[in-house]
Chain A
Amino acid sequence: MSDHNPNAPSHLKHYFHDVNQQYETSKFAMWAFILTEVLTFAGLFVAYIVYRSWYPDMFVDAHKLLDVNKGLTNTIVLITSSLTMALAIWAIQKNNKKLSVFMLVATFIFALAFLGIKYLEYSHKFEVGQLPGLYYSYMGPDAMHLNNPHIFFSIYFIMTGLHGLHVAIGMGLIAWLIYSTQKGNLTSEYYTPMEMIGIFWHLVDLIWIYLFPLFYLIG
C-alpha cells in the first residue's frame, strides 16, 4: 500500500487509520461478541424459568441436593479472579509487566481452583446418580417424592457445564496472555488482547453471579 505510514507501530493493521480506530473497533466487536454470549445463555435461562414455573416444588426440593458451601466458595474464588484480572490490566496500563504477569498467574490459579471445586461437586453427583436425563437414578429418601428431578439436573449440568467450558476456554486465553506479556508483546501502548480477554473473563463471572442464586439458593 502506497499510503501506508512507515512510522506506524507494528501492531497497527494496514487497513486501519490509526491505533485508536483499531482499539475501538476491537472493543466494539468484543461487546458484540458478549451480546451473542448472553443470548446463548439466554436460551438456557429460558428453559430454567419455564421449568421452574412448571415444577416449583421439585426445583425447591431438588436444589437441596446441591452443596451451598461449594457454590459459595466458587463464587468467592471467581469474584477474586475477576479482581486479579482487572488488576492485571491496571498493572499493564501502568507498564508494570511483573505485577501484570503475577496477577494473570493468580487469575489462572483461581480459575483452576474453580474447576477443581466443580470437579468435586460433579464427581459426587455422578457417584450418587444425580445425573441429567435418563441417567438419573437417585431415589434417596430426600428425593423419591420429587416429580421429574432429572429435568432440574439436566438444566443444572448443562448450564454449569457450559459455564465451566467458558472457564476452561478463559484459562487457555489467560495462559496465552501470560506468555505474551512475559515476552513483552503487550505494553501500556498496546494491551488490546488483555483488555478483550478481561471482558470475556468478567462475563464468565457475571454469568456465575446469576447461576449461583438460581441453583444453590432457591428459597
Chain B
Amino acid sequence: MSENKKQNYLNHPKGLMSWILTLDHKRIGLMYLVSGILFFFLGGLLALVMRFELAAPGNDVISNEVYNNAYTLHGAIMIFLFIIPAIPGALGNILLPLMVGAKDVAFPRLNLASFYIYSFGALFAMYTIINGGVDTGWTFYTPYSTQSSSNVVPMTLGIFIIGFSSILTGLNFIATIHKMRIPGLTWYKLPLFVWALYGTSLVQITATPVLAITMVLLMLERFLGIGIFDPALGGDPVLYQHFFWFYSHPAVYIMILPAFGIISEIIPVHSRKKIWGYKFIAYSTLSIAFIGFLVWGHHMFTSGQSVFSQIVFSFITYFVGIPTGVKIFSWILTMYKGQVSFTPPMMYALAFLFLFTIGGLTGIFLGAVALDIHLHDTYFVVAHFHYVMQGGTIVAFLGGLHHWWPKSFGVMYNQTVANIAALGVFIGFNGTFFPQFLLGLRGMPRRYATYDEQFVELHSYSTFWSGILGLSIFLAIMNLFWSFIRKNKVDPGSNPWGGMSLEWTHTSSPPHPHNFEEEPVLQHGPYDYDKVIVEKTYNK
C-alpha cells in the first residue's frame, strides 16, 4: 500500500492550476485524450443519427438539411478534432519522451500552447454547431462553400486554428526525436512507434501549412471574391481541389501512420518475439509519408483534371500500396515462433490486420482510373475509408489505449469485458461497413439523405450493425474508464505484458512527474525477446 502512495504525475503536484498550466507532457497528453474521446463520442453520435435516418429510404427521421449538417460535422469532427490530434496528441505526448528516455518533450511550453490552440479551434467548431451547423461536407468544395449560407467561415477558421496546433505538435516531436534521445539510443534502436510519430510529424509540418493557406483563400473568396477558386469570377474549382487534397491526402497518413506504430509495438510485445523486418517497417513508414504527397489527384479522378495527370496520379498511387503490404506481412511474420497471448491489445491488433487489409486492398480498386470512375463518390469509397480510418486507425487507437493503459494511469481494466468489447467492435464494424461496399458497387451515391428503394435492404443491415458497433465502442471506453473510477491499481513496478522499451523497463506506472527517477541507461533494444526474458510482473 505504501508503494501505491509514491509520487507520480497524476497525484503530484496537486490542484486545478497545476493541471491547467502544466508543462508535463503526460498531463497534456491526458487532456488531449479526454477531449479527443469526447469529440469521438460526439462524432459517433452524429454517425448514429445518420445511420438511423438511412434505415429507410425517405426522410423519416431528419430532413435533408439536418442530414447534410450531420454528415459534414461528423467528418470534420472525426478528422480535425479527434483522429488527427488524438493519437499524436494523446498517446504520442504521453509516450514519446518516455520511449526516448527524455524528461520531457523539447518545448514543453509550446506543447501546452498547442493544446490550448487546439481547444480554441475546437470552440469555433462548437460555435458552428450551436449556430446552426455547416452543410458543405468536410471538403468545403468551391463554389458551393463560397455560396452556402451556413457557417462556413467559423468552421474553416476553426480548422485553420487547429492546423497551427497540429504544426506545433509536429515540430515539437521532430525536435524531440532528433535531439532528446538518451546516449546509445540510436535510430535503429528506437521503438517503431517513435519512427511512426517521426513520419507523422514530418507530414504534419509539411502539409498543414498548405491547409492553412487554403482555408485563408477560401475565407477571402467569401469575403472579397478574390477569383482564385470561384468559377464565376474567373477562378477554378478544380484548383481548389488540388490545394485541398495536397493537405488532405497526406493527412490520411497523419491519421494512419501512428496506427502502424501502435501495431508495431503491440504485436511483438504480446507475441514476445523480435519484430520482423525492423528496417523495412521503419523505412516503409518514411516512404509512405513521402509518396503520400504525390498521389492526391486520385481524389479527383472525375473532376475533369487533365488526362495526363489522371495517368500520373494513378501510377504513383500504386506505390503507396507496396510499402504498406510489406508492413502487413512483417507483422504477421513477427508472430512466427513467438508466444502469442490473446490479451485485449492483441485482439485489437488482430482485428486491425483483418480490417486494414480489406481497407488497403479496396484502395487498389479505387486506384485504377477506369474502375474508380464508376466507384467514385459512391458508398464503395465510404466503406473503403472507414475500413482504413475506423477499422485501421481507431481500432489501433483502442488497442494502444488498452496496451498502455496500465502504464499511463497505473490501473488495470477488466480484460474479459475488454475482449468482449473488442469482438463486438470487430463484428459490428464489418456488419456496418461491408454492406456499404456492395451498395457502392450498385451505384449508391454518398452524401444522400434519401435514396432509391433498390438499396433499402443493404442500408438497413448497415444501420442494424452500426448500433452494435456503437455499443461496443462505448463498452470498451467505459470499461477503461471504470478501472479508473474503481482505482483497480497495479503495482508501480508493473510490466503486465512484458514490454522491453524504456517506458516499461525504466519508469514506474504511472510514471514519475519527471519520467525517470534516474537517467535511464539503455540495456537492450526494444524487441530483443531473443536475448532477454522479461517477466510479466502483473498477476491478477
Q: A43 to chain B: which residues have CB within 8 Å?
A: 209-210, 213-214, 217, 243
Q: B12 to chain A: which residues have CB within 8 Å?
A: none
The 0/1 profile, CB within 8 Å of B marked 1, for residues 43-63 of chain A is 110110011000000000000
Query: Which single residue of chain A is at the shortest CB-CB distance from B103?
Result: A15
Contact of B171 among A3, A29, A51, A135 (CB under 8 A): A29
A21 part of interface (Cβ distance < 8 Å) = yes
A182 part of interface (Cβ distance < 8 Å) = no
Q: What is the CB-to-nearest-CB distance from A132 to chain B, in angstroms, rounded to a whole number?
A: 5
Q: Looking at the complex, which of A73-81, A86-94, A102-110, A146-154 is the stretch in contact with chain B?
A: A146-154
B104 part of interface (Cβ distance < 8 Å) = yes
Asked whether, in the complex, the Cβ of B209 is within 8 Å of the Cβ of A40, the reply is yes
Interface of B is mostly: helix
Given A14-B103, A25-B179, A25-B180, A154 and B108 touching (CB < 8 A)?
no
Contact of A155 among B107, B179, B228 (CB under 8 A): B228
Asked whether, in the complex, the Cβ of A3 is within 8 Å of the Cβ of B234, the reply is no
The 0/1 profile, CB within 8 Å of A marked 1, for residues 184-209 of chain B is 00000000000000000000011111
Asked whether, in the complex, the Cβ of B518 is within 8 Å of the Cβ of A3, the reply is yes
Q: A37 to chain B: which residues have CB within 8 Å?
A: 209
B239 part of interface (Cβ distance < 8 Å) = yes
A176 part of interface (Cβ distance < 8 Å) = no
The CA of A24 and the CA of B175, in the complex, are separated in Å by 9
B225 part of interface (Cβ distance < 8 Å) = yes
Asked whether, in the complex, the Cβ of A40 is within 8 Å of the Cβ of B106, the reply is no
B233 part of interface (Cβ distance < 8 Å) = yes
A188 part of interface (Cβ distance < 8 Å) = no
The CA of A110 and the CA of B214, in the complex, are separated in Å by 31
A1 part of interface (Cβ distance < 8 Å) = yes
Chain B interface bracket (under 10, 10 to 19, 20 to 34, 35 or more): 35 or more
The 0/1 profile, CB within 8 Å of B marked 1, for residues 2-42 of chain A is 11000000000011000001001100110011011101111
A133 part of interface (Cβ distance < 8 Å) = yes
Asked whether, in the complex, the Cβ of B217 is within 8 Å of the Cβ of A47, the reply is yes
Chain A interface bracket (under 10, 10 to 19, 20 to 34, 35 or more): 35 or more
Query: Which single residue of chain B is at the shortest CB-CB distance from A152?
Result: B227
Contact of B108 among A15, A35, A39, A133 (CB under 8 A): A15
Query: Which single residue of chain A is at the shortest CB-CB distance from B207?
Result: A39
Query: Which single residue of chain B is at the shortest CB-CB distance from A14?
Result: B103
The CA of A46 and the CA of B244, in the complex, are separated in Å by 13
Q: What is the CB-to-nearest-CB distance from A21 to chain B, in angstroms, rounded to a whole number?
A: 6
B421 part of interface (Cβ distance < 8 Å) = no
The 0/1 profile, CB within 8 Å of B marked 1, for residues 127-169 of chain A is 0000011110000000000001011001100100000000000
The 0/1 profile, CB within 8 Å of A marked 1, for residues 226-260 of chain B is 11100001111001001100000000000000000
B178 part of interface (Cβ distance < 8 Å) = yes
Q: B180 to chain A: which residues have CB within 8 Å?
A: 15, 21, 25
Asked whether, in the complex, the Cβ of B228 is within 8 Å of the Cβ of A151, the reply is yes
Contact of B217 among A28, A33, A158 (CB under 8 A): A158
Q: A133 to chain B: which residues have CB within 8 Å?
A: 220-221, 224-227, 233
B519 part of interface (Cβ distance < 8 Å) = yes
Q: How many A-B residue pairs have CB under 8 A?
A: 109
Q: A32 to chain B: which residues have CB within 8 Å?
A: 170-171, 174-175, 205
The 0/1 profile, CB within 8 Å of A marked 1, for residues 484-508 of chain B is 0000000000000000000000000
The CA of A164 and the CA of B207, in the complex, are separated in Å by 23
Asked whether, in the complex, the Cβ of B213 is within 8 Å of the Cβ of A134, the reply is no
Q: A158 to chain B: which residues have CB within 8 Å?
A: 216-217, 220, 226
Residue among A133, A148, A150 facing the most chain B CB atoms (10 A cut-off): A133
Q: What is the CB-to-nearest-CB distance from A95 to chain B, in angstroms, rounded to a whole number?
A: 27
Q: B167 to chain A: which residues have CB within 8 Å?
A: 36
Q: B234 to chain A: which residues have CB within 8 Å?
A: 148, 150-151
Asked whether, in the complex, the Cβ of B212 is within 8 Å of the Cβ of A40, the reply is yes
The CA of A158 and the CA of B226, in the complex, are separated in Å by 9
The CA of A64 and the CA of B517, in the complex, are separated in Å by 68
The CA of A35 and the CA of B205, in the complex, are separated in Å by 8
The CA of A36 and the CA of B172, in the complex, are separated in Å by 13
Asked whether, in the complex, the Cβ of A39 is within 8 Å of the Cβ of B235, the reply is no
Taking CB atoms and an 8 Å cut-off, the chain B residues in 85-114 that contact chain A are 102-104, 106-108
Q: B209 to chain A: which residues have CB within 8 Å?
A: 36-37, 39-40, 42-43
Asked whether, in the complex, the Cβ of B213 is within 8 Å of the Cβ of A15, the reply is no
Asked whether, in the complex, the Cβ of A15 is within 8 Å of the Cβ of B104, the reply is yes
Query: Which single residue of chain A is at the shortest CB-CB distance from B208?
Result: A36
Asked whether, in the complex, the Cβ of B213 is within 8 Å of the Cβ of A40, the reply is yes
B524 part of interface (Cβ distance < 8 Å) = no
Taking CB atoms and an 8 Å cut-off, the chain B residues in 148-173 that contact chain A are 167, 170-172
Asked whether, in the complex, the Cβ of A15 is within 8 Å of the Cβ of B102, the reply is yes
Q: A155 to chain B: which residues have CB within 8 Å?
A: 228
Asked whether, in the complex, the Cβ of B210 is within 8 Å of the Cβ of A135, the reply is no
Residue among A1, A14, A32, A33 facing the most chain B CB atoms (10 A cut-off): A32
A interface list, Cβ under 8 A from B: 1-3, 14-15, 21, 24-25, 28-29, 32-33, 35-37, 39-44, 46-47, 50-51, 132-135, 148, 150-151, 154-155, 158
The 6 residue pairs across chains A and B that have the minimum distance between CB atoms:
A134-B225, A43-B213, A154-B226, A133-B224, A15-B103, A40-B209
Q: A32-B205, A132-B226, A158-B226 are in contact. List 15 more A-B contacts (CB 8 A).
A: A24-B179, A25-B106, A25-B178, A28-B179, A29-B172, A29-B175, A43-B217, A50-B236, A132-B224, A133-B224, A134-B233, A148-B233, A150-B234, A151-B227, A155-B228
29 contacts between A and B (CB under 8 A): A2-B517, A14-B514, A15-B104, A25-B178, A29-B171, A29-B172, A32-B175, A35-B205, A35-B206, A36-B208, A40-B212, A40-B213, A43-B209, A43-B214, A46-B242, A47-B217, A47-B239, A50-B236, A51-B228, A132-B226, A133-B221, A133-B227, A133-B233, A134-B225, A150-B233, A151-B227, A154-B227, A158-B217, A158-B220
